Every structure is written in C-alpha cells, then in structure tokens.
Amino acid sequence: MFFPKWDAPFIQGYRAGVAKGMVLAATKPNQLAREVNVNGFKAGIFTYLLTREILD
C-alpha cells in the first residue's frame, strides 16, 4: 500500500496500537456501501447523512 509521507507517523502509531483518532465506516469490511447522486455529486449514503446531520 502507498501512504503519503506525512501520513507515516499515524501509520506507525496505528501499527503500534497508540494512534489517536477515530474511524467511521459505513459498513463492515465484507459488506457493500451504496452511493447516491445528489445534484450531480456522488456521495456515499453514510457520508451524505452524516454531513447533513453535522451541518444542520
């Protein structure tokens, strides 16, 4: 896998089990996610609904 140079400290911390942060995922690794087309802009349904919730 390719990771940008600036991302290396996070990857190293993640592998060591000390990375800080949070990952939000729409599905489990073995599931599929759906996308919606909103005014010509494609967005995952999870991302679209999360963004609307944050901005409202």
What is the tens place of the pLDDT at every residue in 16-29?
A: 876 567 777 778 87
pLDDT of 10 over the 80 cut: no
Please check whether residue 17 lies inside any domain of the structure.
Answer: no
Please check whether residue 1 lies inside any domain of the structure.
Answer: no
- Can you give the pLDDT at residue 47? 80
Please check whether residue 20 lies inside any domain of the structure.
Answer: no
- Can you give the pLDDT at residue 32? 84
List of residues 6+ apart from 51 with CB closer than 8 A: 43
Supply the pTM of this predicted model.
0.40
Total structural domains in the chain?
1
Q: Which domain holds residue 39?
A: 25-56
pLDDT of 15 over the 70 cut: yes
**One-letter amino acid for residue 19 of the chain:** A
Q: Give me the half-sphere count of Cα atoms (radius 13 Å) on the Cβ side of residue 34.
A: 5
Contact (CB, 8 A) for 48 and 37:
no
Number of neighbouring beta carbons within 10 Å of residue 48: 16
What is the tens place of the pLDDT at every residue in 20-55?
A: 677 777 788 788 888 878 788 787 778 888 888 888
